[in-house]
Structure 1
Amino acid sequence: MRLFPTTSYLFTLLAFTLLAVLAGNSPALPFDTAVFNAIHGLNPSFLDTPMRVVSFLGETAPSILVAAPFAIWLWVKGNRREALGFVIVLAAVAATTSGVKNIFDRTRPDGGGLAFVSGHTSYFTVFAGYLFFTLQKVVGNRRWLIGWRIGLVALVVLTGFSRVYLGAHWPTDVLGGFLLGILLLAPVLRAVDNQRSAET
């Protein structure tokens, strides 16, 4: 892949598979408890509200409301394939994440729900990753583009951190969500890029 080499993709697939075998079949790995306890041991309460806000954006309705303007923006700017690809990959990550959660049935740190993988993290990995590579087609100002990209990367990092900080996920759930997001994102980006290249 031009945007994500085949070797890198296969490595990511292998990493996700190994992580799924280890984490998906274990309540918590030593790494999970060590990182989880370290974060909660700090207890920086001033982060409570910001982390809840970041995490709230990953809920079903807010996540749709966040994504819709970008899909419309791409469409209005004439990048209809990119807009369609954006919608497709977001729907795919939501469905796939749900399936993975049910397959592994891992318990969350608080004892409820399905933990592996973090849906918030997988969703925003796809959301941010897709826009990271496509916004250059609609954002002409280089400084604005860099600003957008920094913001998108920060969104993924903060989302993952918030899920552990709030006690909703183990660190390996977040890592699994990130890897799953990449695995779904890469082929869609490649398909959209190839279709666009074929038209020019």
Structure 2
Amino acid sequence: MQKQTNGFLTYLIFGALSGGFLFWTFGELTEAIFTTNKNFYWDELILKKVQALNFPGIFPLMKGITFLGSIGFYLMFIPVVSFVFYKKRRYDSLTALLGSTTGASVLNYVLKLHYLRLRPTLYFKITESGYSFPSGHAMISMAVYGMFFYLLARNAPSPLRYYYILPGLGFPLVIGFSRIYLGVHWPTDVLGGFIAGLFWLIITIIITEIIFWRKR
């Protein structure tokens, strides 16, 4: 029991330090964007380079990938996964997934209204509305897919757990890339979304583990 307690405390401390580092990084990024404006050159340069990519089928491919980070997809994905967790009596997993999704969505909405950054409209390949920073697709996909694959890893046999890291990070990364290619976000919008989404993911995991640790 003492060994489990020590491992749990180490887990929480590592999570808290990681969350603190991400919080600091997000602050540095926003200062660069909204105070010094030094990032705008790199934003435009990267966006143009990404949009210059061209091979058969890339546009519908990017639209399909970006759909995986949309509200329309989550309205199908989240209820199905939640129902499975409920039927299996995995109430901790159900709480974690819903908390991660809902919290990231609300936080993204608040951050967009706070920063009020305009989208790069001159680069649009699809029509998009709303404010730009941080990218909702990048932020929420990091929270949703990160939590989903974390939960799968936690309940998987030890040798297989690390294999869930790749899709847990891979899905958000390709979704964020699709947003840049489609011209609806600056690269720093996507980066900010990743940082904020990972921060909320870690916070949700820590809270869930604390709530359900004694019940396991």
Task: Write the letter of the residue equivalent to 1:48.
Answer: F
Higher alpha-carbon Rg: 2
Which has the higher mean CA deviation after the structures are superposed, 36-45 or 93-102?
36-45
Task: Write the letter of the residue equivalent to 1:52.
Answer: K
Contact 1:74 1:83 in 2 (8 A): yes
Residue-by-residue CA offset, 1:59-113 (whole Å, 9 max, x unaligned):
2222221222222222222210220221122111111111111111111111663
Number of residue-to-residue matches in the alignment: 199
Answering whether residue 146 of structure 2 is matched by residue 129 of structure 1, we say yes
The equivalent residue for 1:197 is 213
Report the CA distance between 1:139 and its aligned residue.
4.7
Report the CA distance between 1:15 and its aligned residue.
0.6
CA gap of 1:45–1:37, structure 2 versus 1, over 3 A, is farther
Report the CA distance between 1:196 and its aligned residue.
2.5
CA distance in 2, matches of 1:163, 1:24: 21
- Residue ranges of structure 1 left out of the alignment (5+ in a row): none
CA distance in 1, matches of 2:105, 2:38: 23
Task: Write the letter of the residue equivalent to 2:58.
Answer: L
CA distance in 2, matches of 1:175, 1:154: 14
- Residue ranges of structure 2 left out of the alignment (5+ in a row): 1-9, 123-128
CA gap of 1:115–1:27, structure 2 versus 1, over 3 A, is farther
The equivalent residue for 1:115 is 132
CA distance in 2, matches of 1:22, 1:63: 32
The equivalent residue for 2:169 is 153
Identical columns (%): 23
Alignment RMSD (CA, Å): 2.4
Task: Write the letter of the residue equivalent to 2:17.
Answer: T
Scaled by the length of structure 1, what TM-score is found? 0.87
User: Which of the residues 50, 53, 76 maps onto 1:39?
Assistant: 50
The 3-state SS of whatever aligns with 2:57 is helix
User: Which of the residues 49, 53, 60 maps onto 2:64?
Assistant: 53
Task: Write the letter of the residue equivalent to 2:121.
Answer: D
